[in-house]
Structure 1
Protein backbone atom coordinates (compact mmCIF):
# COMPACT_ATOMS: atom_id res chain seq x y z
CA UNK A 1 0.00 0.00 0.00
CA UNK A 2 1.38 3.41 -1.02
CA UNK A 3 2.49 5.82 1.67
CA UNK A 4 0.05 8.63 2.54
CA UNK A 5 1.68 11.92 1.53
CA UNK A 6 -0.95 14.35 2.81
CA UNK A 7 -4.51 14.43 4.10
CA UNK A 8 -7.31 16.79 5.07
CA UNK A 9 -9.17 15.33 8.03
CA UNK A 10 -12.53 16.84 8.96
CA UNK A 11 -11.32 20.25 7.81
CA UNK A 12 -13.68 23.21 8.14
CA UNK A 13 -12.84 26.75 7.00
CA UNK A 14 -15.01 29.58 8.28
CA UNK A 15 -15.29 32.98 6.60
CA UNK A 16 -17.07 36.05 7.97
CA UNK A 17 -19.15 36.72 4.86
CA UNK A 18 -20.23 33.27 3.64
CA UNK A 19 -21.18 29.78 4.74
CA UNK A 20 -18.30 27.62 5.98
CA UNK A 21 -16.52 25.14 3.73
CA UNK A 22 -16.47 21.55 4.95
CA UNK A 23 -16.03 19.34 6.74
CA UNK A 24 -13.69 18.12 4.01
CA UNK A 25 -11.81 14.83 4.00
CA UNK A 26 -9.19 14.05 1.36
CA UNK A 27 -6.34 11.55 1.49
CA UNK A 28 -3.41 11.52 -0.96
CA UNK A 29 -1.09 8.56 -1.38
CA UNK A 30 2.29 8.61 -3.02
CA UNK A 31 1.83 8.63 -6.80
CA UNK A 32 -1.86 9.65 -6.71
CA UNK A 33 -3.14 11.97 -9.44
CA UNK A 34 -6.38 13.56 -8.22
CA UNK A 35 -8.56 16.14 -9.95
CA UNK A 36 -10.78 18.42 -7.85
CA UNK A 37 -13.94 19.68 -9.54
CA UNK A 38 -16.95 21.56 -8.24
CA UNK A 39 -18.97 24.74 -8.75
CA UNK A 40 -17.34 28.12 -8.19
CA UNK A 41 -17.00 28.73 -4.46
CA UNK A 42 -16.97 25.04 -3.55
CA UNK A 43 -13.55 25.34 -1.95
CA UNK A 44 -11.29 23.75 -4.58
CA UNK A 45 -8.57 26.41 -4.34
CA UNK A 46 -9.03 26.52 -0.56
CA UNK A 47 -8.24 22.80 -0.43
CA UNK A 48 -4.99 23.42 -2.30
CA UNK A 49 -4.02 26.29 0.01
CA UNK A 50 -4.69 24.10 3.04
CA UNK A 51 -2.51 21.32 1.64
CA UNK A 52 0.23 23.83 0.85
CA UNK A 53 0.12 25.33 4.35
CA UNK A 54 -0.96 28.70 2.96
CA UNK A 55 -4.21 28.64 4.93
CA UNK A 56 -5.10 27.33 8.38
CA UNK A 57 -8.33 25.39 8.98
CA UNK A 58 -10.87 26.62 11.53
CA UNK A 59 -11.45 22.99 12.55
CA UNK A 60 -9.89 19.65 11.69
CA UNK A 61 -6.35 18.71 10.77
CA UNK A 62 -4.02 18.97 7.78
CA UNK A 63 -1.53 16.08 7.73
CA UNK A 64 1.66 15.94 5.70
CA UNK A 65 4.55 13.52 5.89
CA UNK A 66 6.98 15.77 3.98
CA UNK A 67 6.81 19.39 5.13
CA UNK A 68 8.59 21.66 2.68
CA UNK A 69 8.34 19.11 -0.14
CA UNK A 70 5.31 20.73 -1.77
CA UNK A 71 5.22 22.75 -5.02
CA UNK A 72 2.37 24.96 -6.25
CA UNK A 73 1.51 26.00 -9.82
CA UNK A 74 -0.92 28.92 -9.88
CA UNK A 75 -3.44 30.02 -12.51
CA UNK A 76 -0.93 32.48 -13.98
CA UNK A 77 2.78 31.70 -14.44
CA UNK A 78 3.93 34.39 -11.90
CA UNK A 79 7.40 34.57 -13.42
CA UNK A 80 9.82 37.35 -12.51
CA UNK A 81 9.69 39.65 -15.59
CA UNK A 82 13.28 40.85 -15.23
CA UNK A 83 14.83 37.37 -15.11
CA UNK A 84 15.32 34.83 -17.87
CA UNK A 85 13.63 31.42 -17.85
CA UNK A 86 16.61 29.64 -16.32
CA UNK A 87 16.89 32.14 -13.46
CA UNK A 88 13.15 31.89 -12.79
CA UNK A 89 13.30 28.11 -12.55
CA UNK A 90 16.50 28.14 -10.47
CA UNK A 91 15.01 30.50 -7.87
CA UNK A 92 13.41 27.92 -5.49
CA UNK A 93 16.64 25.92 -5.49
CA UNK A 94 18.74 28.99 -4.69
CA UNK A 95 16.32 29.96 -1.92
CA UNK A 96 16.80 26.46 -0.49
CA UNK A 97 20.55 26.98 -0.39
CA UNK A 98 21.57 25.06 -3.51
CA UNK A 99 24.78 26.55 -4.98
CA UNK A 100 24.12 28.82 -7.95
CA UNK A 101 25.95 26.71 -10.53
CA UNK A 102 24.09 23.54 -9.52
CA UNK A 103 20.75 25.38 -9.35
CA UNK A 104 21.21 26.76 -12.87
CA UNK A 105 22.23 23.35 -14.20
CA UNK A 106 19.18 21.70 -12.68
CA UNK A 107 16.97 24.54 -13.95
CA UNK A 108 18.26 24.05 -17.48
CA UNK A 109 17.51 20.32 -17.26
CA UNK A 110 13.98 21.00 -15.97
CA UNK A 111 13.29 23.49 -18.78
CA UNK A 112 14.60 21.01 -21.34
CA UNK A 113 12.28 18.34 -19.91
CA UNK A 114 9.26 20.54 -20.71
CA UNK A 115 10.44 21.48 -24.19
CA UNK A 116 12.08 24.82 -23.39
CA UNK A 117 15.71 23.84 -23.81
CA UNK A 118 16.12 26.46 -26.53
CA UNK A 119 14.57 29.23 -24.40
CA UNK A 120 16.81 29.26 -21.31
CA UNK A 121 17.77 32.91 -21.84
CA UNK A 122 14.29 34.13 -22.80
CA UNK A 123 12.49 36.67 -20.63
CA UNK A 124 8.82 36.02 -19.76
CA UNK A 125 7.66 38.68 -22.25
CA UNK A 126 9.32 36.63 -25.01
CA UNK A 127 7.39 33.48 -24.12
CA UNK A 128 3.92 32.55 -25.34
CA UNK A 129 1.26 31.73 -22.78
CA UNK A 130 1.89 28.01 -23.17
CA UNK A 131 5.66 28.45 -22.93
CA UNK A 132 5.33 30.60 -19.80
CA UNK A 133 3.18 27.91 -18.18
CA UNK A 134 5.78 25.29 -19.14
CA UNK A 135 8.40 27.42 -17.38
CA UNK A 136 6.14 27.61 -14.32
CA UNK A 137 5.73 23.83 -14.38
CA UNK A 138 9.51 23.40 -14.67
CA UNK A 139 10.00 25.69 -11.67
CA UNK A 140 7.62 23.49 -9.66
CA UNK A 141 9.15 20.14 -10.57
CA UNK A 142 12.80 21.24 -10.35
CA UNK A 143 12.61 20.81 -6.56
CA UNK A 144 11.41 17.19 -7.00
CA UNK A 145 8.39 17.67 -4.71
CA UNK A 146 6.47 14.87 -3.04
CA UNK A 147 3.22 16.83 -3.51
CA UNK A 148 2.46 18.95 -6.59
CA UNK A 149 -0.57 21.26 -6.44
CA UNK A 150 -1.98 22.90 -9.58
CA UNK A 151 -4.77 25.49 -9.49
CA UNK A 152 -6.38 25.63 -12.96
CA UNK A 153 -2.99 26.32 -14.58
CA UNK A 154 -4.12 25.64 -18.14
CA UNK A 155 -7.50 27.39 -18.10
CA UNK A 156 -6.42 30.36 -20.25
CA UNK A 157 -4.73 28.22 -22.92
CA UNK A 158 -6.12 26.78 -26.13
CA UNK A 159 -7.22 23.15 -26.12
CA UNK A 160 -4.24 21.82 -28.11
CA UNK A 161 -1.72 23.49 -25.78
CA UNK A 162 -3.63 22.25 -22.72
CA UNK A 163 -3.52 18.67 -23.97
CA UNK A 164 0.21 18.85 -24.65
CA UNK A 165 0.87 20.27 -21.19
CA UNK A 166 -1.14 17.49 -19.55
CA UNK A 167 0.90 14.96 -21.53
CA UNK A 168 4.07 16.71 -20.32
CA UNK A 169 2.79 16.52 -16.76
CA UNK A 170 2.04 12.80 -17.11
CA UNK A 171 5.50 12.17 -18.54
CA UNK A 172 7.24 14.10 -15.74
CA UNK A 173 5.19 12.18 -13.17
CA UNK A 174 5.96 8.81 -14.77
CA UNK A 175 9.69 9.53 -14.94
CA UNK A 176 10.02 10.28 -11.21
CA UNK A 177 10.80 7.61 -8.64
CA UNK A 178 9.11 7.72 -6.25
CA UNK A 179 6.29 9.42 -8.11
CA UNK A 180 4.79 12.55 -6.55
CA UNK A 181 1.16 12.95 -5.56
CA UNK A 182 -0.61 15.51 -7.77
CA UNK A 183 -3.78 17.49 -7.03
CA UNK A 184 -5.18 19.42 -10.00
CA UNK A 185 -8.09 21.87 -9.78
CA UNK A 186 -10.18 22.30 -12.94
CA UNK A 187 -13.68 23.25 -14.07
CA UNK A 188 -13.34 21.10 -17.21
CA UNK A 189 -14.68 17.56 -16.77
CA UNK A 190 -12.91 16.25 -19.88
CA UNK A 191 -9.62 17.66 -18.61
CA UNK A 192 -10.24 16.04 -15.22
CA UNK A 193 -10.97 12.63 -16.72
CA UNK A 194 -7.97 12.75 -19.06
CA UNK A 195 -5.58 14.02 -16.40
CA UNK A 196 -6.43 12.14 -13.22
CA UNK A 197 -6.57 8.64 -11.79
CA UNK A 198 -9.57 9.73 -9.75
CA UNK A 199 -11.77 12.79 -9.58
CA UNK A 200 -13.22 14.26 -6.39
CA UNK A 201 -16.39 16.36 -6.70
CA UNK A 202 -17.03 19.08 -4.12
CA UNK A 203 -20.49 20.39 -3.27
CA UNK A 204 -21.26 23.97 -4.25
CA UNK A 205 -23.29 24.35 -1.06
CA UNK A 206 -20.70 23.50 1.58
CA UNK A 207 -17.54 22.12 -0.07
CA UNK A 208 -18.05 18.57 1.16
CA UNK A 209 -17.02 15.66 -1.04
CA UNK A 210 -20.13 14.46 -2.89
CA UNK A 211 -18.46 11.89 -5.13
CA UNK A 212 -15.03 10.36 -5.79
CA UNK A 213 -14.73 8.40 -9.02
CA UNK A 214 -11.76 6.47 -10.43
CA UNK A 215 -10.91 7.09 -14.06
CA UNK A 216 -10.53 4.05 -16.35
CA UNK A 217 -7.30 3.36 -18.20
CA UNK A 218 -3.62 3.83 -17.46
CA UNK A 219 -1.47 6.96 -17.23
CA UNK A 220 0.21 8.21 -19.37
CA UNK A 221 -2.74 7.93 -21.75
CA UNK A 222 -2.39 6.13 -25.11
CA UNK A 223 -2.69 8.36 -28.19
CA UNK A 224 -6.25 7.25 -29.03
CA UNK A 225 -7.60 7.24 -25.48
CA UNK A 226 -10.07 10.10 -26.00
CA UNK A 227 -11.82 8.02 -28.66
CA UNK A 228 -12.31 5.14 -26.22
CA UNK A 229 -15.98 4.66 -25.23
CA UNK A 230 -14.82 4.30 -21.61
CA UNK A 231 -13.46 7.86 -21.78
CA UNK A 232 -16.74 9.24 -23.12
CA UNK A 233 -18.72 7.39 -20.45
CA UNK A 234 -16.43 8.71 -17.71
CA UNK A 235 -16.80 12.30 -18.98
CA UNK A 236 -20.60 12.09 -19.12
CA UNK A 237 -20.82 10.47 -15.69
CA UNK A 238 -18.59 13.14 -14.16
CA UNK A 239 -20.60 15.90 -15.85
CA UNK A 240 -23.74 14.50 -14.20
CA UNK A 241 -21.94 14.37 -10.83
CA UNK A 242 -20.89 18.01 -11.23
CA UNK A 243 -24.43 19.09 -12.14
CA UNK A 244 -25.74 17.33 -9.04
CA UNK A 245 -23.19 19.22 -6.92
CA UNK A 246 -24.54 22.62 -8.00
CA UNK A 247 -26.41 24.63 -5.36
CA UNK A 248 -30.16 24.46 -5.89
CA UNK A 249 -30.38 28.15 -6.73
CA UNK A 250 -27.83 27.72 -9.54
CA UNK A 251 -29.06 24.39 -10.86
Structure 2
Protein backbone atom coordinates (compact mmCIF):
# COMPACT_ATOMS: atom_id res chain seq x y z
CA UNK A 1 0.00 0.00 0.00
CA UNK A 2 3.04 2.30 -0.04
CA UNK A 3 2.20 3.38 -3.62
CA UNK A 4 -1.53 3.80 -2.98
CA UNK A 5 -3.21 7.16 -3.42
CA UNK A 6 -5.73 6.09 -0.75
CA UNK A 7 -6.28 2.88 1.17
CA UNK A 8 -8.33 1.13 3.84
CA UNK A 9 -6.28 -1.24 6.00
CA UNK A 10 -8.34 -3.61 8.20
CA UNK A 11 -10.94 -0.87 8.61
CA UNK A 12 -14.03 -1.52 10.73
CA UNK A 13 -16.92 0.93 11.11
CA UNK A 14 -19.46 0.40 13.87
CA UNK A 15 -22.96 1.89 13.81
CA UNK A 16 -25.77 1.53 16.35
CA UNK A 17 -28.41 -1.13 15.65
CA UNK A 18 -26.62 -2.91 12.82
CA UNK A 19 -23.68 -5.28 12.35
CA UNK A 20 -20.29 -3.60 11.88
CA UNK A 21 -18.89 -2.97 8.41
CA UNK A 22 -15.55 -4.67 7.84
CA UNK A 23 -12.81 -5.39 8.20
CA UNK A 24 -12.29 -3.83 4.77
CA UNK A 25 -8.99 -3.85 2.89
CA UNK A 26 -8.82 -1.77 -0.26
CA UNK A 27 -5.95 0.10 -1.92
CA UNK A 28 -6.42 2.60 -4.75
CA UNK A 29 -3.40 3.06 -7.00
CA UNK A 30 -2.53 6.30 -8.77
CA UNK A 31 -4.37 6.72 -12.05
CA UNK A 32 -6.59 3.63 -11.82
CA UNK A 33 -10.38 3.48 -12.04
CA UNK A 34 -12.06 1.25 -9.46
CA UNK A 35 -15.79 0.49 -9.36
CA UNK A 36 -17.44 -0.60 -6.11
CA UNK A 37 -20.69 -2.59 -6.30
CA UNK A 38 -22.85 -4.14 -3.60
CA UNK A 39 -26.34 -4.28 -2.19
CA UNK A 40 -27.89 -1.29 -0.42
CA UNK A 41 -26.36 -1.08 3.03
CA UNK A 42 -23.20 -2.98 2.08
CA UNK A 43 -21.05 0.05 2.84
CA UNK A 44 -20.39 1.51 -0.61
CA UNK A 45 -20.99 5.13 0.36
CA UNK A 46 -19.23 4.54 3.68
CA UNK A 47 -16.19 3.35 1.74
CA UNK A 48 -16.16 6.61 -0.23
CA UNK A 49 -16.53 8.75 2.88
CA UNK A 50 -13.65 6.89 4.52
CA UNK A 51 -11.42 7.35 1.47
CA UNK A 52 -12.35 11.05 1.40
CA UNK A 53 -11.51 11.48 5.07
CA UNK A 54 -15.12 12.50 5.80
CA UNK A 55 -15.65 9.62 8.24
CA UNK A 56 -13.35 8.05 10.81
CA UNK A 57 -13.06 4.27 11.24
CA UNK A 58 -13.80 2.54 14.51
CA UNK A 59 -10.76 0.35 13.92
CA UNK A 60 -8.00 0.12 11.35
CA UNK A 61 -6.09 2.68 9.33
CA UNK A 62 -7.20 4.95 6.48
CA UNK A 63 -4.73 6.52 4.07
CA UNK A 64 -6.11 9.56 2.26
CA UNK A 65 -4.77 12.19 -0.12
CA UNK A 66 -3.38 15.48 1.21
CA UNK A 67 -5.94 18.22 1.91
CA UNK A 68 -7.49 19.59 -1.26
CA UNK A 69 -6.36 16.67 -3.43
CA UNK A 70 -9.66 14.71 -3.33
CA UNK A 71 -12.86 15.65 -5.19
CA UNK A 72 -16.31 14.18 -4.49
CA UNK A 73 -19.33 13.99 -6.83
CA UNK A 74 -22.58 12.99 -5.15
CA UNK A 75 -25.76 11.39 -6.50
CA UNK A 76 -27.31 14.84 -6.94
CA UNK A 77 -25.40 17.66 -8.66
CA UNK A 78 -25.46 19.86 -5.47
CA UNK A 79 -24.98 23.05 -7.46
CA UNK A 80 -25.74 26.41 -5.88
CA UNK A 81 -29.15 27.29 -7.41
CA UNK A 82 -28.58 31.06 -7.29
CA UNK A 83 -25.23 30.94 -9.11
CA UNK A 84 -24.47 30.36 -12.78
CA UNK A 85 -22.45 27.40 -14.04
CA UNK A 86 -19.22 29.38 -14.22
CA UNK A 87 -19.50 30.55 -10.60
CA UNK A 88 -20.39 27.05 -9.41
CA UNK A 89 -17.33 25.51 -11.02
CA UNK A 90 -15.00 28.33 -9.95
CA UNK A 91 -16.08 28.07 -6.30
CA UNK A 92 -13.57 25.42 -5.05
CA UNK A 93 -10.70 27.34 -6.64
CA UNK A 94 -11.80 30.62 -5.08
CA UNK A 95 -12.17 28.92 -1.70
CA UNK A 96 -8.60 27.64 -2.10
CA UNK A 97 -7.38 31.20 -2.59
CA UNK A 98 -6.97 31.23 -6.39
CA UNK A 99 -7.45 34.79 -7.73
CA UNK A 100 -10.97 35.31 -9.09
CA UNK A 101 -9.98 35.96 -12.70
CA UNK A 102 -7.76 32.87 -12.82
CA UNK A 103 -10.39 30.74 -11.08
CA UNK A 104 -13.07 31.75 -13.57
CA UNK A 105 -10.76 31.19 -16.54
CA UNK A 106 -9.96 27.69 -15.31
CA UNK A 107 -13.66 27.07 -14.63
CA UNK A 108 -14.56 28.11 -18.18
CA UNK A 109 -11.96 25.66 -19.54
CA UNK A 110 -13.34 22.89 -17.32
CA UNK A 111 -16.90 23.55 -18.47
CA UNK A 112 -15.81 23.53 -22.11
CA UNK A 113 -14.13 20.16 -21.54
CA UNK A 114 -17.49 18.64 -20.51
CA UNK A 115 -19.40 20.21 -23.39
CA UNK A 116 -20.82 23.21 -21.52
CA UNK A 117 -18.66 25.93 -22.99
CA UNK A 118 -21.77 27.71 -24.30
CA UNK A 119 -23.66 27.48 -20.98
CA UNK A 120 -21.36 29.42 -18.65
CA UNK A 121 -24.11 31.83 -17.57
CA UNK A 122 -26.84 29.19 -17.18
CA UNK A 123 -28.38 28.68 -13.74
CA UNK A 124 -28.85 25.07 -12.54
CA UNK A 125 -32.61 25.25 -13.21
CA UNK A 126 -31.78 25.94 -16.86
CA UNK A 127 -29.68 22.79 -17.19
CA UNK A 128 -30.96 19.29 -17.88
CA UNK A 129 -30.08 16.52 -15.44
CA UNK A 130 -27.20 15.40 -17.65
CA UNK A 131 -25.90 18.96 -18.04
CA UNK A 132 -26.06 19.56 -14.29
CA UNK A 133 -24.05 16.40 -13.68
CA UNK A 134 -21.51 17.54 -16.30
CA UNK A 135 -21.17 20.80 -14.38
CA UNK A 136 -20.59 18.82 -11.17
CA UNK A 137 -17.87 16.79 -12.90
CA UNK A 138 -16.28 20.00 -14.15
CA UNK A 139 -16.33 21.44 -10.62
CA UNK A 140 -14.67 18.27 -9.29
CA UNK A 141 -12.00 18.14 -11.99
CA UNK A 142 -11.16 21.85 -12.03
CA UNK A 143 -9.00 21.39 -8.93
CA UNK A 144 -6.97 18.67 -10.72
CA UNK A 145 -7.46 16.15 -7.88
CA UNK A 146 -5.35 13.07 -7.26
CA UNK A 147 -8.50 11.14 -6.29
CA UNK A 148 -12.02 11.53 -7.71
CA UNK A 149 -14.85 9.86 -5.77
CA UNK A 150 -18.18 9.32 -7.53
CA UNK A 151 -21.21 8.18 -5.52
CA UNK A 152 -23.70 6.84 -8.11
CA UNK A 153 -23.63 10.14 -10.00
CA UNK A 154 -25.54 8.82 -13.03
CA UNK A 155 -28.24 6.84 -11.20
CA UNK A 156 -31.05 9.32 -11.89
CA UNK A 157 -30.24 9.74 -15.58
CA UNK A 158 -31.63 7.88 -18.57
CA UNK A 159 -29.52 5.12 -20.09
CA UNK A 160 -28.45 7.09 -23.17
CA UNK A 161 -27.27 10.06 -21.10
CA UNK A 162 -25.47 7.72 -18.70
CA UNK A 163 -23.57 6.11 -21.55
CA UNK A 164 -22.55 9.47 -22.97
CA UNK A 165 -21.32 10.67 -19.56
CA UNK A 166 -19.29 7.50 -18.99
CA UNK A 167 -17.62 7.96 -22.38
CA UNK A 168 -16.93 11.60 -21.54
CA UNK A 169 -15.50 10.66 -18.15
CA UNK A 170 -13.13 8.17 -19.81
CA UNK A 171 -11.86 10.83 -22.22
CA UNK A 172 -11.49 13.44 -19.47
CA UNK A 173 -9.54 10.95 -17.36
CA UNK A 174 -7.36 9.82 -20.27
CA UNK A 175 -6.59 13.42 -21.20
CA UNK A 176 -5.19 14.33 -17.79
CA UNK A 177 -1.50 14.13 -16.94
CA UNK A 178 -1.14 12.74 -14.39
CA UNK A 179 -4.43 10.85 -14.48
CA UNK A 180 -6.49 10.96 -11.28
CA UNK A 181 -7.48 7.79 -9.51
CA UNK A 182 -11.25 7.31 -9.65
CA UNK A 183 -13.49 5.32 -7.31
CA UNK A 184 -16.99 4.90 -8.71
CA UNK A 185 -19.91 3.49 -6.71
CA UNK A 186 -22.80 1.92 -8.63
CA UNK A 187 -25.48 -0.78 -8.40
CA UNK A 188 -25.04 -1.57 -12.09
CA UNK A 189 -22.48 -4.32 -12.81
CA UNK A 190 -22.42 -3.59 -16.55
CA UNK A 191 -21.75 0.08 -15.86
CA UNK A 192 -19.01 -0.87 -13.38
CA UNK A 193 -17.19 -3.18 -15.78
CA UNK A 194 -17.42 -0.75 -18.68
CA UNK A 195 -16.14 2.20 -16.67
CA UNK A 196 -13.52 0.65 -14.41
CA UNK A 197 -10.25 -1.17 -14.77
CA UNK A 198 -11.09 -3.11 -11.60
CA UNK A 199 -14.42 -3.88 -9.95
CA UNK A 200 -14.79 -4.66 -6.25
CA UNK A 201 -17.86 -6.49 -4.89
CA UNK A 202 -18.79 -5.80 -1.26
CA UNK A 203 -20.52 -8.41 0.85
CA UNK A 204 -24.02 -7.22 1.74
CA UNK A 205 -23.78 -8.15 5.41
CA UNK A 206 -20.17 -7.50 6.42
CA UNK A 207 -19.12 -4.90 3.86
CA UNK A 208 -15.94 -6.87 3.30
CA UNK A 209 -14.49 -7.25 -0.19
CA UNK A 210 -16.09 -10.45 -1.48
CA UNK A 211 -14.43 -10.34 -4.89
CA UNK A 212 -12.19 -8.09 -6.98
CA UNK A 213 -11.95 -8.60 -10.73
CA UNK A 214 -9.92 -6.67 -13.33
CA UNK A 215 -11.56 -5.63 -16.59
CA UNK A 216 -9.75 -6.70 -19.76
CA UNK A 217 -8.73 -3.99 -22.19
CA UNK A 218 -8.08 -0.29 -21.76
CA UNK A 219 -10.21 2.81 -21.39
CA UNK A 220 -11.55 4.62 -23.33
CA UNK A 221 -13.33 1.59 -24.78
CA UNK A 222 -13.51 0.95 -28.53
CA UNK A 223 -16.86 1.25 -30.27
CA UNK A 224 -19.05 -1.83 -29.77
CA UNK A 225 -17.01 -3.08 -26.81
CA UNK A 226 -20.14 -3.96 -24.83
CA UNK A 227 -20.60 -6.89 -27.24
CA UNK A 228 -17.04 -8.13 -26.69
CA UNK A 229 -16.99 -11.68 -25.20
CA UNK A 230 -14.37 -10.64 -22.61
CA UNK A 231 -16.64 -7.83 -21.40
CA UNK A 232 -19.69 -10.11 -21.25
CA UNK A 233 -17.74 -12.80 -19.36
CA UNK A 234 -16.49 -10.31 -16.78
CA UNK A 235 -20.01 -8.93 -16.28
CA UNK A 236 -21.45 -12.41 -15.74
CA UNK A 237 -18.71 -13.41 -13.29
CA UNK A 238 -19.20 -10.28 -11.23
CA UNK A 239 -22.99 -10.55 -11.36
CA UNK A 240 -22.69 -14.07 -9.96
CA UNK A 241 -20.36 -12.87 -7.22
CA UNK A 242 -22.76 -10.04 -6.40
CA UNK A 243 -25.68 -12.49 -6.16
CA UNK A 244 -23.66 -14.67 -3.75
CA UNK A 245 -22.87 -11.59 -1.68
CA UNK A 246 -26.55 -10.74 -1.22
CA UNK A 247 -28.39 -11.62 2.02
CA UNK A 248 -31.05 -14.35 2.01
CA UNK A 249 -29.92 -15.64 -1.36
CA UNK A 250 -32.27 -18.17 -2.90
CA UNK A 251 -30.71 -21.39 -4.21
TM-score, normalised with respect to structure 2:
0.97
Q: 1:17 deviation in Å?
A: 1.4
- 3-state secondary structure, aligned to 1:178: coil
In structure 1, C-alpha distance between the alignment counterparts of 2:116 and 2:223, rounded to whole Å: 23
Q: How many residues align?
A: 251
**Change over 3 Å in CA distance of 1:245–1:61 after alignment to 2:** same
- 3-state secondary structure, aligned to 2:54: coil
1:96-131 deviations in whole A, cap 9, x for unaligned?
000000000000000000000010000000000000
Runs ≥4 in structure 1, deviation > 4 angstroms? none
Correspondence 1:156 to 2:131: no
Which residue of structure 2 aligns with residue 69 of structure 1?
A: 69
Asked whether the equivalents of residues 37 and 201 of structure 1 are also in contact (C-alpha less than 8 Å), the reply is yes
Which residue of structure 2 aligns with residue 223 of structure 1?
A: 223
- 3-state secondary structure, aligned to 1:182: strand
- 3-state secondary structure, aligned to 2:14: strand
Structure 1 residues without counterparts, runs of 5 or longer: none
- 3-state secondary structure, aligned to 2:192: helix
In structure 1, C-alpha distance between the alignment counterparts of 2:67 and 2:7, rounded to whole Å: 12
In structure 2, C-alpha distance between the alignment counterparts of 1:64 and 1:25, rounded to whole Å: 14
- 3-state secondary structure, aligned to 1:12: strand
Of 144-153 and 217-226, more deviation after overlay is shown by 217-226
- 3-state secondary structure, aligned to 1:18: coil
Structure 2 residues without counterparts, runs of 5 or longer: none
Which residue of structure 2 aligns with residue 135 of structure 1?
A: 135
- 3-state secondary structure, aligned to 1:61: strand
Asked whether the equivalents of residues 66 and 146 of structure 1 are also in contact (C-alpha less than 8 Å), the reply is no
Which residue of structure 2 aligns with residue 123 of structure 1?
A: 123
Which residue of structure 1 aligns with residue 83 of structure 2?
A: 83
